[in-house]
Amino acid sequence: MTSPAPARDRPASPMDRTAPTYIAGHRGLVGSAVWRHFAASGFTTLIGRTSAELDLRDRAATFAFFEEVRPRYVVLAAARVGGILANATEPVEFLSDNLRIQVNVLDAALATGVERLLFLGSSCIYPKHAPQPIPEEALLTGPLEPTNEAYAIAKIAGVLQVQAARREYGVRWISAMPTNLYGPGDNFDLRTAHVLPALIRRFHEAVQSGAEEVVLWGTGTPRREFLHVDDLARACELLLDCYDDPLPINVGVGEDISIAELAELIAEIVGYSGKIRFDPSKPDGTPRKLLDVRRITALGFRPRIGLAEGIRATYAWYREQLGNRTESPHQTA
């Protein structure tokens, strides 16, 4: 590949909304939100493939796809994701699948001259005991949280590959590190779900069954920050239009809440009035994970969806999905 002019020597410019734009993972929580937002923002040539149509772990298939569609822009939202249980019990799959997806997409993007690419990582890439709020410079300054280090290592590798491509080939590619995400399209499977959708399902099922007590993992003391996925989608468009730096950029709300407080909020929204008990024999994960969002705030980004409002909308979406299914809500959602 012929190296273009270094990215730092080229001014940032808004994307051409008519250009071919590939959303990798467009059926997932993040990818579907990016697709909705980009379509509403006037992107006329959005490209997506389901995992059944294109397995991004397959290098030959990924390269053939890029050669066929030759996207000008790429949002890499495809990933194997899950909560603390899935990460802790399937580290090989989380490491291997994510590494293969990332390497294949990024290499194919280089080979076909993709102009702008946004790699979406995760706040779990930062050390377990990083300073709070966590600045982007904290990356690689300490040990990771053991329960999700395989996933984190894979995402760190993606950040480094984006930086390497910028340095070697001068491409205007960027990485963003979202905080904990939720919203329509979330995963409510209790084996693999993140904490917020898992709590929604647990309390919903407790209401349906008349349970007097719900037992939750850990102590309830860890603090987490939550961003609605539709707000992340707005941030993705902003970053592709005007951010051009090798340093990954945090995307969050700048406020956090304890897991116990989150559980109480969700229980109230769902209508559960029974007892909530925590099991301290189960892992807590990282004690606190609040992102320093000063850099993206300086670009003009502000979240629009409050936590209570977002949870209500997500719960309404979950109930709608249950209403469209013939099986019991206790089965995988």
Active site residues: 151
Q: Is 117 helix (H, G, I), strand (E, B) or coil?
A: strand
Q: Is 210 annotated as a binding residue?
A: no
Q: Is 178 annotated as a binding residue?
A: yes
Q: Is 31 annotated as a binding residue?
A: yes
Q: How far is CA 168 from the centre of its chain?
A: 27
What value does the CA radius of gyration of the chain take, rounded to a whole number of Å?
20
Q: Is 275 annotated as a binding residue?
A: no
Q: Is 62 annotated as a binding residue?
A: no
CA distances from 321 to 203, 309, 310 (A): 16, 19, 17
Q: Is 328 annotated as a binding residue?
A: no
* Nearest-angstrom CA–CA distance, 175 and 162: 7
Here the tokens at position 2 are 């012929």
- Which of 156, 172, 166 minimizes the C-alpha distance to 99? 156
* HSE (side-chain half, CA atoms, 13 Å) at 280: 2
Q: Is 35 annotated as a binding residue?
A: no
- Which of 81, 100, 229, 109 minimizes the C-alpha distance to 158? 100
Cα angle 294-296-302, degrees, rounded to a multiple of 5: 95
Q: Is 199 annotated as a binding residue?
A: no
Q: Is 241 annotated as a binding residue?
A: no
Q: Is 29 annotated as a binding residue?
A: yes
Here the tokens at position 135 are 């600045």
Q: Is 113 annotated as a binding residue?
A: no
* Nearest-angstrom CA–CA distance, 258 and 223: 4
* Nearest-angstrom CA–CA distance, 325 and 17: 36
Q: Is 105 annotated as a binding residue?
A: no
Q: Is 310 annotated as a binding residue?
A: no
Q: Is 30 annotated as a binding residue?
A: yes
* Nearest-angstrom CA–CA distance, 29 and 303: 17
Here the tokens at position 100 are 């293969």
- Which of 116, 97, 108 minimizes the C-alpha distance to 155? 97
Q: Is 54 annotated as a binding residue?
A: no
Residues comprising the binding site for NADP(+)?
25-31, 120-123, 155, 178-181, 194
Residues comprising the binding site?
25-31, 120-123, 155, 178-181, 194, 202, 217, 224, 284
Residues comprising the binding site for substrate?
202, 217, 224, 284
